[in-house]
Amino acid sequence: MKQLRIPIVAILLSLVLAGCDETRKTQPNVAVAFVNAAPSFSSVSVLREETTATDLDYRQSAGGSFGADTYDFHLEVGPPGDNRERPVSFTLELVPGTEYTIVATELNGELQQRIFETSNDTGGVGIIHLAPLLAAVDVYVLTPGTAPAAANPLGTVSFGQQREPASIIDGDVEIVLTEASNPSAELLRSPTISLPGGASIVLTIVDDAGLGFADVAVIVSGAANFSVVDQDLQSSIRVINAVSDGSPRDFGLNGNLEPPLLPGVAFQTASDYTLITAGMPNLTVTPAGNPGVVELDLPFSADPGRLETIFIAGNAGDLGGAISFDDLRPIVNEAKINFFNGADLFQFVDFFVVLPGTNIDEAQPTTTLQSRNLVSNIAIVPGDYELTIRD
């Protein structure tokens, strides 16, 4: 069975948050987890009072603690800047002996919050079903390789429902979703993960919603913070050829170029996406039709259910590359831009995306990139802009 890998570019951040108000230092700490289950928003910022507690992309979670007290929380969305929207605000009393999960979700495109409360004396796994395209499911936490028919589910949940925590086995487990009352119809079996004994975990079931091509995903929050999709899903990659000699390139995996996985990719062209086995392969690059001249063997993480772009640039025989996870979700009131720098003549370039007539000498760059690098999914307000690239 595959062990869960958390690659650098796809890691789902586990942040330690702490309330630091002087007047609340003497209060006992209360555990709080935050979950972003709102796919129509590129990211959600959680504010405690007026201080940002965490920023979460879709399918990310974060956990920490605050002193027991009553707080005002806010959820902010939108591109960075002074005009971010704050569609959700609420007051929550954090009571000792209770653990809280605050979930950013949505209904008909409007941001909402769900709050899941559990006693910290019991531990176990709670469940929230927030995948509108998914029917009722049975949820299992099993030893690796166990068939659902040989065990009892933690519970059955339909969209919008939540289940109180149930005790589970400690150690290495797999999260399994099946159709309700049909244990032979597996919808998701996670990679093997390790859950700490006696800890409180909440599983939030969501749609992939364009972040990749999985039908369903599970966000784990509480004592551990990450998300999983089905372990048997493939990955999908495409390649951009920005090699300065302008010649086509062949691309293969782990030195296998007979035939190439992506043959003859032309200069300044992005290949089609192609499915590959998830794992940690190397991308092998050669001049088209010349497999004996290996110009680059680039290791990368091919994550299950994700779409990835690999950008290759440099001079013939001296290539480098960068990788991004592609996010194809349509975002409310936002546009997204990806930037690539294949210009070896300049060590760094500034990209400015500004309103027409803006003096860029008085503006901050939208991004600055070293050669052979990229940055993806920069959010901006839709509209008309001027693009300037400067050494």
pLDDT digits (tens, 9 = 90+) for 227-239: 999 999 999 999 9
CA-CA distances (angstroms) from residue 350 to 156, 313, 328, 382? 52, 18, 25, 21
Q: What is the pLDDT of residues 58-93, one digit of tens each?
A: 999 999 899 999 999 999 998 777 678 999 999 999
User: Of 82-96, 147-161, 173-187, 244-258, which range is least confident?
Assistant: 82-96
Confidence of residue 24 (pLDDT cuts 50, 70, 90): low
- pTM, two decimal places: 0.87
- In this prediction, residue 253 carries a pLDDT of 98
- In this prediction, residue 357 carries a pLDDT of 95
Q: What is the pLDDT of residues 168-219, one digit of tens each?
A: 877 899 999 999 999 999 999 999 998 877 778 999 999 988 889 999 999 9
Residue 35 is encoded by which pair of tokens?
């979950």
**C-alpha to C-alpha distance for 3 and 187, rounded to whole angstroms:** 19
**C-alpha to C-alpha distance for 108 and 165, rounded to whole angstroms:** 28
Position 36 pLDDT exceeds 90: yes
From 233, 235, 234, 238, select the one nearest 251 (Cα to Cα).
238
Residue 134 is encoded by which pair of tokens?
């998914």
**C-alpha to C-alpha distance for 239 and 324, rounded to whole angstroms:** 11
Using a 10 angstrom Cβ sphere, with 0-12 exposed, 13-18 middle and 19 or more buried, the burial of residue 18 is exposed
- In this prediction, residue 25 carries a pLDDT of 55
Position 18 pLDDT exceeds 70: no
- The answer to whether residues 231 and 211 touch, using CB atoms and an 8 Å cutoff, is no
- Mean per-residue pLDDT for 39-52? 92
- The answer to whether residues 141 and 154 touch, using CB atoms and an 8 Å cutoff, is yes
Q: Is 244 left (phi over 0), alpha (psi -120 to 50) or beta?
A: alpha
- Mean per-residue pLDDT for 289-304? 96
- Mean per-residue pLDDT for 112-130? 89
Residue 184 is encoded by which pair of tokens?
């032979």
- Mean per-residue pLDDT for 248-274? 97
- The answer to whether residues 365 and 352 touch, using CB atoms and an 8 Å cutoff, is yes
Q: Mean pLDDT for the chain?
A: 90
Q: How many CB atoms lie within 10 A of CB 213?
A: 18
- In this prediction, residue 228 carries a pLDDT of 96
CA-CA distances (angstroms) from residue 100 to 201, 223, 284? 11, 12, 47
- Mean per-residue pLDDT for 88-99? 95
